[in-house]
Amino acid sequence: PAQSNFSGVQHSLDWVEQAQRRGWDVLLDAAAFVPTNRLDLGRVKPDYVVLSFYKMFGYPTGVGALLARRRALEKLQRPWFAGGTITVASVQADRHYQAPGPAAFEEGTQAYLTIPAVDIGLQLIESVGIEAIHSRVTCLTGWLIDALTSLRHDNGQPLIQLYGPATTDRRGATLSLNFHDRVGRPIDHRSIERQANRERISLRTGCFCNPGAGETALGLSKGELDACFVRSHRRMTFDDFQRCIDGKSTGAVRVSLGLASNFDDVRATARFAEQFLDWGDDAED
């Protein structure tokens, strides 16, 4: 990924060329990166790029893109097919030929009612300027990091554990963190989310569809996880999982800033966090 959707860390785009020199085809996940950063595909030349228009300007939901260089797209052969992705198919011959170019990978009916909004969104980004968006969001991110990481309980213990860089150097506007009580125990991230919902603050909690990064950041070992899955032979609920991983957090809280964010948003987030100061044994939601 150009930017981790868990920690916000931004990886060097030089890795693309380094991997290609070693014979790899490179897919660059730019979904978290491009909403607030310029990606120059004339300089950085991955074979494939995935992005989300929803993450860029908030609408339309469920619409993204896979950008592929023509020579890279020609390498892809699908073992299955669906409507609109083939030229010829036969049941008795058990053969099919995929359609040429992008059509081979665009299954079914495209979202033709919402795709036109993409053009409007891109015009908006262009009118504001991606550099201006980047500068503004970087400033907001830096202020919020400083505000959150400075919060201390009355005994000096930090309230917030931040995952990823503690400055704006090589990090994006994705802040993943956990709240800890005055004796250092994690406060259930679901409690944080419920309270945020009451105060009309939009947060996301969990592992953010990135369990690998989450397990590493939260310090969950393979042995611990194996034991939990062995213990639950058929099905495991999240509550079961949380009881199994006793004493550790099973998820995190994520704050994401972007095009529409302003200083009132980050100040409200910092004030929201302050209410969890000096939580102790009796501080349960």
pLDDT value at position 93?
93
d(CA 160, CA 178): 6
Is the pLDDT assigned to residue 125 strictly greater than 90?
yes
Structure tokens of 65? Answer: 């893109």
Quickly state the pLDDT bin for 248 (edges 50, 70, 90): confident
Is the pLDDT assigned to residue 59 strictly greater than 90?
no
Quickly state the pLDDT bin for 285 (edges 50, 70, 90): very low
Is the pLDDT assigned to residue 155 strictly greater than 80?
yes
Collect all residues with Cβ–Cβ distance below 8 Å to 165 and sequence separation of at least 6.
7, 8, 9, 171
Model pTM? 0.87
What are the pLDDT digits (tens) for 252-263?
A: 999 999 999 999
Handedness of CA 36, 40, 46, 52 (dihedral sign): positive
Computed over every residue of the chain, the mean pLDDT equals 92
Q: Are 71 and 92 in contact (CB under 8 A)?
A: no
d(CA 171, CA 141): 9
User: Of the residues 139, 207, 209, 244, which is catalytic?
Assistant: 209
Q: What share of the chain is helix, strand, coil (3-state, %, to 5)?
A: 35, 15, 45
What are the pLDDT digits (tens) for 187-196?
A: 999 999 999 9
pLDDT value at position 147?
98
Is the pLDDT assigned to residue 231 strictly greater than 90?
no
Structural domains of the chain, with CATH:
14-128 (3.40.640.10), 131-274 (3.90.1150.10)
> What angle, 0 to 180 degrees and rounded to 10, lies between the N-to-C axes of helices 130-149 and 263-274?
20
Q: Is 207 a catalytic residue?
A: no
